[in-house]
Amino acid sequence: MIETPSGSAAGPLWHLIALSSYQRPPQPTSEAVRQRIRGFADHLRRPITARVFRPEANLVEVPDALLDQIAAQPDPAMLLPAVGQMLEGWLASPNPVAPVQLAVSAPFSWLPEALALWARERGFWQVQPPTPQEILDGGHTWLQQFDRRPDGPLLIPNLERLYLRHQAGLSLLQRLVEWLSIQQQHCLINCDSWAWAYLCKVIQIDRILPEPFTLAPCDEPFLTRWLQAPAAGQGQPDFVFRQANNGRYVLAPIVSGAHELSRETTDFLRHLAAYSRGIPGVAWTLWRSSLQYGDEQNLTEKALESAREDRNRTIWVQPWSELDLPRITTSDQSRIIILHALLLHGGMTTHTLAGLLPLSTSEVTNQLQRLKNTGILNQTGLHWQVRPGAYPAVRELLARDGYLLDVM
């Protein structure tokens, strides 16, 4: 579990803000220039495709037990205090001014899971999404459950699962939104940011539903607090995080329960915050893949000298410029529209994807497999989704080619 350093007096770590206030952490100018040059060079090179991205290739000999300690899988429950601060007052009010509360969450932000957890603890009725076929049939049977709904608050955890980008795939959601617009009981809705952007364009959903809130972006100060290994109180030594090429601190070491902010740190976290677009799941994935421990073959003399006193508790972090980040420069139209469709729907199965695109099932299958082999997609059973570490590269590709993007 990744937690804030104990005794930190800096206040709550996670915040919810209005979606209109969301601003991506700024990218260092040098990195922006470097990426532009590299992107241009990639376009000139053959073949025009995605390089194989293997995040684990960055990792050198970090024992699993250690990795679970310093970069464990985050628990969405860490967002509960922020969710409570936003929604407890609303829930407690018997006749709220705004009965419907809407959250828009970026992929890999853990906000949907946190909202579901918070709602479950308070007895919300959670709506299960319809099947794709039910959506295409208009969802009449599925919608009838709302007439028989139990009293009490309602949660729709994934609004993006209630539509398909298909001529027949919008009517269910349109009817549900009309129903929501006249509700007086508490309704909590979460929608993926990509689906939100699409639905705003296509059915002007933002004119019917209230202004959404979202998770505040994870900037450099946030990452500094969040990524420090939770060693305090566990009887374990505090780890220090140094950059592998110069020995400088990536995270200021903890002294007496607080970050020793007077120590100069590298700009690694600033790069990480900008590249991950403030999305915690993306930042965590890349952070985890940048760590190395024990193998000092690739370390410089300067780095080793700097870590002379705390070498046995030093976690080395690869310099940002040397991280193996995915770059996709494909001009294959089929591949691009597949990636876009997956983001608009928060992932889907091969069969459903083929039904939405002007491609045969075999072509979709081949492309999905190629994208999986190059480390861009993840497959869980029949379900395909963009991998968190590849998300910024996929978004960059879609932005370059002029496809609809989310606001985050």
Partner 1 sequence: MNGETSTAQLLRSIQDIHFVRIVVTLALAWLLTALIERGTPQLANRLPGRMRMFILPYIPVTRLAIQIIAIGVVLTQIVNPSFESLVTILGAAGLAIGFGFKDYVSSIIAGVVTIYERPYRPGDWVEIGGVYGEVRSIGLRALKLVTPDDTVVTIPHQLIWNESIHNANDGLRDLMCVADFYLHPENDAAQIQQTLKEVALTSPYIQLDRPVSVVVHEKLWATHFRLKAYPIDSRDQFLFISDMTVRGKQALARLGAHPASIPPAIQEQASPRQ
Q: Which residues of the shown chain bind partner 1 in the complex (CB under 8 A)?
A: 40, 43-44, 48, 165-170, 198, 201-202, 331, 333, 337, 340-341, 356-358, 400-404
CA nearest neighbour of 212 among 127, 78, 345, 106: 106
Residue 296 in contact with residue 43, Cβ under 8 Å? Answer: no
User: What's the closest the beta carbon of residue 177 comes to partner 1, in angstroms?
Assistant: 15
Cβ proximity to partner 1, 145 vs 331, nearer residue? 331
User: What's the closest the beta carbon of residue 69 comes to partner 1, in angstroms?
Assistant: 43
Around Cβ 77, how many Cβ atoms within 10 Å?
Answer: 15
Cβ proximity to partner 1, 125 vs 403, nearer residue? 403
Cβ proximity to partner 1, 86 vs 404, nearer residue? 404
Strand ranges (DSSP E) for 43-157? 100-105, 125-126, 154-156
User: What's the closest the beta carbon of residue 33 comes to partner 1, in angstroms?
Assistant: 16
Residue 105 in contact with residue 190, Cβ under 8 Å? Answer: yes
User: What's the closest the beta carbon of residue 202 comes to partner 1, in angstroms?
Assistant: 5
Which H/E stretch holds residue 391?
A: helix 391-400
Two tokens, residue 211 = 């202004």
Cβ proximity to partner 1, 250 vs 386, nearer residue? 386
Buried b (16+ CB within 10 A) or exposed e, 182-194: eeeebbbbbbbbb
User: What's the closest the beta carbon of residue 385 comes to partner 1, in angstroms?
Assistant: 18
Cβ proximity to partner 1, 111 vs 397, nearer residue? 397
Helix/strand/coil for 51: coil
Q: What is the largest CA-CA distance in the chain?
A: 71
CA nearest neighbour of 272 among 290, 246, 252: 290
User: What's the closest the beta carbon of residue 40 comes to partner 1, in angstroms?
Assistant: 8
Cβ proximity to partner 1, 189 vs 353, nearer residue? 353
State how far the Cα of 360 lies from the Cα of 355, in Å rounded to an integer: 9
Cβ proximity to partner 1, 295 vs 401, nearer residue? 401
User: What's the closest the beta carbon of residue 189 comes to partner 1, in angstroms?
Assistant: 22
User: What's the closest the beta carbon of residue 276 comes to partner 1, in angstroms?
Assistant: 22
Residues paired with residue 213 on neighbouring β-strands, in sequence order: 18, 103
Query: Which residue carries 């994870």 as its tokens?
Result: 218
**Residue 56, phi then psi, degrees to nearest 5:** -70, -15
Cβ proximity to partner 1, 248 vs 340, nearer residue? 340
Residues paired with residue 385 on neighbouring β-strands, in sequence order: 378
Cβ proximity to partner 1, 100 vs 341, nearer residue? 341
Residue 14 in contact with residue 78, Cβ under 8 Å? Answer: yes
Query: Which residue carries 């296509």 as its tokens?
Result: 202
Amino acid at position 216, single letter: A
State how far the Cα of 233 lies from the Cα of 121, in Å rounded to an integer: 29
User: What's the closest the beta carbon of residue 341 comes to partner 1, in angstroms?
Assistant: 6
